[in-house]
């Protein structure tokens, strides 16, 4: 395994900028509490940045105030100059940095909390990541309203990014500062597995407060000129009603819930396991997260984790002999617990109600419950669990959902805007809404008077599908283990602010950055930090495109055809399994057998940051299992110059066009491509057609023979036909795909 990097930092710096002493004393109190909780903490005023080495810090908690007309405190003046200079010299100067900011200000003055907002913007623009949402406390209404919950939410967030030496806090409450608690305290507060009654309402409300919703930037001004709104979809019928269990049944429900232990899967997992498809191989089962390693350096653009999932022996024997390198498996992941808590809070459902078990029924016998809710007509579950595990809270909003939300609004303004969004006239605004990838919470918060019934919202939302990951080991290496490599999906969208004014220096950037996260990978990352290895629900997903190495010959020797593999980034995952499988085949090969040629094209940004599986591929190269390795570095010109590497895998292929064409056209080679459909899938196809055309240009007879095998083209004849036209080269690739010589595993 290559390039293991630390997941969490060893130390945290608490920095402040204070004019009247408020920010200083709050910062000191937070620092002191952090030290008590076992974090390795230091405390400094911002202007001492040289003394404490600001540029080398990786995890910082800022408390900063704003004075005058939005000015920063005097004891941070030098710091701002240095920050500006550093970010001018290098646009990504702080990509190594994770931060949290508490801002103090007063809404009675202009530029409320400008210091905190400016710091947030500048750090984000310089590549830093906020590990916890910025809190803006208002002296006008009482600082404590924001300060206290912000500090409370800081500890679990900090425990996710910084090491804590003790698993119990110094005041002995056992929860604070526990870095091994992988899911935040907020999440733990919502976890019903710890007792036989629902947890306290306060915990859930804290969790809701911790979720960062994104204000939507939508321009409704065109509505003013409209005479009519047309083309909105019909309102989908309401079919779903819920009823709570009686006391006895609820008691039984909680007693059963108390038995659940270290599970990170839907409470109804046993039912999913039992109600499996005919083929037991495809049935979901509980597996354990055995280990996790970050295989990218901390400076890498993306964080890639290699996770080992241990299969229980019964499941391992079900799937034995039925899975192959190249297959994937599904993981059943929930929505972010903070997002769920946020939606519940927004709907006005208190924590106790949210956790009370209920059954759903259809109010109209002629209309069935939506498929994702049907099980709840017989299996009781809480609204919170249904929202967490069954409904997709992050999928792109559909017009039907918006139309149905119109009826949940108390205010005419919200109703009109929602109607406009799903109308023909509002198409551009609707497109902008989808571009911002809002969660359901973002939408609800954008229309403050909209408060649909929770069961109504549940039935309107699409089902939450499981997520798939390629298995990157081979069965022969271990039958009871699946390994996956994935990027933790966290990214920023740039959204143009329709209300920005060019003359405003702050807003003239006219773009706001919106942070978004994937559903499954951040959750998996959190789970990997739990003290006790959690169980997750998984199911084998065989590759339906036969994306796997051909089986060995009856003699036991591997299939002799050359194999070309193209997989940049995590697209290399299945090929690691292929190489393991090939190593086993070679070990079992008759003594006089010859080793078939294999060639891997891998691409990453820089050899120092994200060269995934470097040790593994080099070892296979040294052992002769891999015949050739071509690696590209897209964002490291120095490394390219040093290693004679190309930028992208398709560039490397074009560079070696004759060898590739010869292997494909004359040596019956197999070509495998794994990656995203829009990027690598399209680009390699394009490169291959160029490679074939180029090679055949000087081989007209071979070109004619090949063209004769292709279906007759309906396109008008090329007046000056090349030996093989581009269209024919593409046809040839399609033919190879149907003959399983060109295999692609492309991901959306």
Residue 342 sits in the site that holds ligand NAP (CB under 6 A)? no
Q: Which stretch binds ligand NAP (CB under 6 A): 120-128, 232-240, 475-483, 485-493?
A: 485-493
Of the pair 369, 485, the CB lying nearest ligand NAP is at 485
Report yes or no: 693 and 719 within 8 Å, Cβ to Cβ: no
Q: Which positions ≥6 away from 225 have C-beta within 8 Å?
A: none
Interface residue with ligand NAP, options 571, 577, 596, 723 (CB under 6 A): 571
In eight-state DSSP terms, residue 669 is -
Of the pair 155, 611, the CB lying nearest ligand NAP is at 611
Of the pair 369, 573, the CB lying nearest ligand NAP is at 573
Smallest gap from residue 563 Cβ to ligand NAP (A):
17
Report yes or no: 139 and 147 within 8 Å, Cβ to Cβ: no
Residue 609 sits in the site that holds ligand NAP (CB under 6 A)? no
Residue 672 sits in the site that holds ligand NAP (CB under 6 A)? no
In 182-240, which residue ranges form alpha helices assigned H by DSSP? 185-190, 201-210
Of the pair 528, 650, the CB lying nearest ligand NAP is at 650
Residue 603 sits in the site that holds ligand NAP (CB under 6 A)? yes
Smallest gap from residue 553 Cβ to ligand NAP (A):
28
> Phi and psi dihedrals of 65, rounded to 5?
-110, 175
> Phi and psi dihedrals of 303, rounded to 5?
-100, 115
Q: Which stretch binds ligand NAP (CB under 6 A): 229-237, 391-399, 483-491, 685-693?
A: 483-491
Within 10 angstroms of residue 537's Cβ, the number of other Cβ atoms is 22
C-alpha R_g of the chain? 29
Smallest gap from residue 520 Cβ to ligand NAP (A):
10
In eight-state DSSP terms, residue 492 is E
Of the pair 253, 575, the CB lying nearest ligand NAP is at 575
Contacting ligand NAP within 301-320 (CB under 6 A):
302
Report yes or no: 58 and 9 within 8 Å, Cβ to Cβ: yes
The dihedral formed by the CA atoms of 360, 361, 363 and 369, expressed in degrees to the nearest 10: 90
Interface residue with ligand NAP, options 573, 661, 669, 688 (CB under 6 A): 573
Residue 674 sits in the site that holds ligand NAP (CB under 6 A)? yes
Of the pair 81, 635, the CB lying nearest ligand NAP is at 635
Please state, in angstroms and rounded to a whole number, the distance separating the CA atoms of residues 124 and 87. Answer: 11
> Phi and psi dihedrals of 42, rounded to 5?
-135, 160
Residue 602 sits in the site that holds ligand NAP (CB under 6 A)? no
Within 10 angstroms of residue 568's Cβ, the number of other Cβ atoms is 26
Listed residue (319, 673, 667) closest to 482, CA to CA? 319
Please state, in angstroms and rounded to a whole number, the distance separating the CA atoms of residues 56 and 260. Answer: 44
Residue 649 sits in the site that holds ligand NAP (CB under 6 A)? yes
Q: Which residues does residue 537 pair with via DSSP β-bridges, in sequence order? A: 286
Smallest gap from residue 637 Cβ to ligand NAP (A):
12
Q: Which stretch binds ligand NAP (CB under 6 A): 199-207, 551-559, 601-609, 701-709?
A: 601-609
Of the pair 147, 573, the CB lying nearest ligand NAP is at 573
Smallest gap from residue 681 Cβ to ligand NAP (A):
8
Residue 487 sits in the site that holds ligand NAP (CB under 6 A)? yes
Smallest gap from residue 680 Cβ to ligand NAP (A):
4
Contacting ligand NAP within 266-295 (CB under 6 A):
none
Of the pair 239, 566, the CB lying nearest ligand NAP is at 566
Give the torsion sign (CA, 604, 606, 610, 613).
positive
Angle between helices 573-587 and 614-622 (to 10 degrees): 30
In eight-state DSSP terms, residue 9 is B
Q: Which residue in the shown chain puts its C-beta closest to ligand NAP?
A: 569
Smallest gap from residue 541 Cβ to ligand NAP (A):
11
Smallest gap from residue 470 Cβ to ligand NAP (A):
4
Per-residue 3-state assignment (H helix, E strand, C coil) for 52-115:
HCHHHCCEEEEEEECECCCECCHHHHHHHHHHHHHHHHCCCCCCCCEEEEEEEECCCCCCCCHH
Smallest gap from residue 179 Cβ to ligand NAP (A):
26
Of the pair 137, 305, the CB lying nearest ligand NAP is at 305
Smallest gap from residue 648 Cβ to ligand NAP (A):
4
Q: Which positions ≥6 away from 463 have C-beta within 8 Å?
A: 370, 371, 372, 390, 391, 392
Q: Which positions ≥6 away from 582 have C-beta within 8 Å?
A: 549, 558, 596, 598, 625
Of the pair 450, 649, the CB lying nearest ligand NAP is at 649
Q: Which stretch binds ligand NAP (CB under 6 A): 176-184, 407-415, 529-537, 669-677?
A: 669-677
Phi-psi region of 359 (alpha: psi -120 to 50; beta: other; left: phi over 0): beta
The size of the chain, in residues, is 748
Interface residue with ligand NAP, options 54, 155, 486, 575 (CB under 6 A): 486
> What burial letters (b/e) apply to 48-57, b meaning 16+ CB within 10 Å?
ebeeeebeeb
Interface residue with ligand NAP, options 676, 694, 722, 726 (CB under 6 A): 676
Please state, in angstroms and rounded to a whole number, the distance separating the CA atoms of residues 64 and 73. Answer: 8
Smallest gap from residue 469 Cβ to ligand NAP (A):
4
Of the pair 44, 548, the CB lying nearest ligand NAP is at 548
Smallest gap from residue 571 Cβ to ligand NAP (A):
4
Listed residue (22, 93, 70, 16) closest to 47, CA to CA? 16
Of the pair 273, 676, the CB lying nearest ligand NAP is at 676
> Phi and psi dihedrals of 717, rounded to 5?
-65, 140
Interface residue with ligand NAP, options 369, 675, 688, 696 (CB under 6 A): 675
Q: Which stretch binds ligand NAP (CB under 6 A): 369-377, 378-386, 531-539, 567-575?
A: 567-575
Q: Burial level of 732, CB count in 10 A (0-12/13-18/19+)?
A: buried
Q: Which stretch binds ligand NAP (CB under 6 A): 251-259, 480-488, 664-672, 691-699?
A: 480-488
Q: Which stretch binds ligand NAP (CB under 6 A): 47-55, 283-291, 387-395, 644-652?
A: 644-652
Q: Nearest-5° angle of CA 503, CA 508, CA 509?
A: 165
Helix (H, G, I), strand (E, B) or coil at 294: strand
Contacting ligand NAP within 679-718 (CB under 6 A):
679-680, 683
Of the pair 182, 573, the CB lying nearest ligand NAP is at 573
Smallest gap from residue 622 Cβ to ligand NAP (A):
24
Residue 569 sits in the site that holds ligand NAP (CB under 6 A)? yes
Interface residue with ligand NAP, options 369, 444, 484, 519 (CB under 6 A): 484
In 281-398, which residue ranges form alpha helices assigned H by DSSP? 313-319, 337-347, 351-355, 383-389
Q: Which stretch binds ligand NAP (CB under 6 A): 263-271, 277-285, 350-358, 602-610?
A: 602-610
Pairing state of beta strands 40-45 and 11-17? parallel
Q: What is the size of the binding site for ligand NAP (CB under 6 A)?
A: 27
Smallest gap from residue 485 Cβ to ligand NAP (A):
6
Smallest gap from residue 329 Cβ to ligand NAP (A):
9
Interface with ligand NAP (CB under 6 A): 302, 469-470, 484-487, 568-571, 573, 603-605, 634-635, 648-650, 674-676, 679-680, 683, 747
């Amino acid at each position: 395994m290559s390039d293991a990097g630390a997941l969490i930092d060893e130390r945290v710096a608490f920095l402040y900028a204070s004019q009247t002493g408020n920010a200083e004393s709050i910062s000191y109190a937070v620092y002191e509490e952090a030290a008590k909780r076992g974090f390795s903490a230091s405390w400094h005023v911002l202007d001492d940045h040289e003394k404490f080495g600001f540029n080398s810090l990786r995890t910082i908690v800022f408390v900063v105030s704003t004075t005058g007309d939005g000015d920063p405190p005097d004891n941070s003046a030098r710091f701002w100059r240095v920050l500006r200079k550093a970010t001018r010299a290098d646009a990504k100067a702080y990509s190594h940095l994770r931060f949290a900011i508490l801002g103090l200000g007063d809404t009675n003055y202009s530029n409320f909390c400008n210091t905190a907002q400016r710091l947030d913007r500048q750090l984000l623009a310089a590549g830093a990541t906020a590990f916890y949402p910025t809190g803006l406390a208002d002296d006008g209404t009482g600082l404590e309203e924001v300060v206290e919950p912000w500090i409370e939410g800081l500890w679990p967030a900090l425990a996710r990014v910084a090491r804590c030496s003790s698993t119990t806090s110094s005041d002995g409450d056992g929860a604070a500062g526990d870095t091994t608690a992988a899911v935040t305290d907020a999440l733990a507060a919502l976890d019903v597995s710890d007792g036989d009654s629902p947890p306290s309402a306060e915990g859930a409300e804290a969790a809701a407060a911790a979720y960062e919703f994104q204000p939507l930037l939508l321009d409704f001004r065109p509505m003013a000129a409209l005479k009519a709104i047309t083309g909105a979809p019909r309102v989908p019928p309401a079919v779903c009603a819920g009823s709570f269990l009686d006391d006895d049944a609820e008691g039984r429900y909680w007693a059963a819930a108390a038995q659940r232990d270290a599970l990170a899967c839907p409470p109804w997992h046993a039912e999913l396991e039992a109600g499996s498809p005919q083929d037991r191989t495809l049935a979901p089962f509980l597996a354990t997260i055995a280990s996790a390693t970050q295989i990218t350096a901390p400076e890498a653009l993306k964080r890639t984790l290699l996770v080992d999932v241990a299969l229980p022996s019964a499941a391992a024997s079900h799937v034995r002999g039925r899975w192959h390198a190249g297959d994937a498996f599904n993981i059943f992941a929930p929505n972010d617990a903070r997002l769920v808590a946020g939606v519940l809070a927004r709907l006005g459902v208190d924590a106790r109600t949210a956790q009370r078990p209920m059954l759903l029924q259809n109010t109209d016998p002629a209309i069935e419950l939506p498929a994702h809710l049907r099980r709840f007509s017989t299996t009781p579950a809480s609204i919170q669990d249904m929202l967490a595990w069954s409904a997709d809270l992050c999928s792109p909003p559909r017009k039907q959902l918006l139309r149905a939300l119109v009826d949940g609004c108390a205010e005419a303004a919200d109703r009109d805007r929602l109607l406009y969004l799903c109308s023909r006239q509002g198409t551009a605004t609707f497109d902008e809404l989808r571009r911002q990838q809002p969660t359901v919470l973002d939408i609800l918060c954008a229309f403050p008077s909209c408060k649909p019934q929770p069961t109504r919202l549940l039935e309107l939302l699409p089902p939450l599908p499981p997520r798939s990951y390629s298995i990157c080991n081979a069965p022969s290496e271990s039958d009871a283990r699946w390994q996956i490599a994935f990027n933790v999906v966290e990214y920023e969208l740039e959204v143009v602010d329709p209300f920005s004014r060019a003359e405003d220096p702050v807003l003239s950037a006219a773009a706001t950055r919106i942070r978004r996260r994937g559903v499954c990978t951040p959750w998996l990352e959190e789970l990997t930090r739990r003290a006790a290895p959690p169980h997750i629900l998984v199911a084998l997903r065989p590759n339906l495109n036969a994306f796997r190495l051909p089986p060995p010959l009856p003699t036991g020797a591997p299939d002799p055809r050359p194999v070309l593999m193209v997989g940049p980034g995590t697209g290399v995952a299945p090929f690691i399994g292929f190489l393991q499988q090939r190593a086993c085949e070679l070990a079992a090969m008759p003594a006089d057998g010859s080793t078939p040629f294999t060639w891997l094209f891998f691409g990453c940004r820089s050899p120092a940051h994200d060269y995934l599986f470097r040790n593994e591929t080099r070892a296979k190269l040294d052992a002769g299992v891999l015949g050739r390795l071509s690696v590209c570095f897209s964002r490291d010109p120095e490394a390219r110059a040093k290693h004679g590497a190309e930028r992208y895998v398709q560039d490397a292929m074009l560079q070696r066009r004759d060898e590739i064409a010869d292997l494909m056209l004359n040596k019956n080679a197999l070509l495998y491509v794994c990656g995203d459909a829009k990027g690598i899938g399209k680009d390699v196809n394009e490169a291959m057609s160029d490679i074939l055309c180029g090679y055949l240009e000087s081989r007209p007879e071979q070109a004619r023979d090949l063209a004769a095998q292709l279906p007759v083209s309906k396109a008008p004849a090329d007046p000056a036909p090349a030996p093989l036209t581009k269209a024919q080269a593409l046809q040839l690739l399609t033919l190879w795909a149907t003959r399983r010589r060109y295999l692609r595993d492309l991901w959306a």
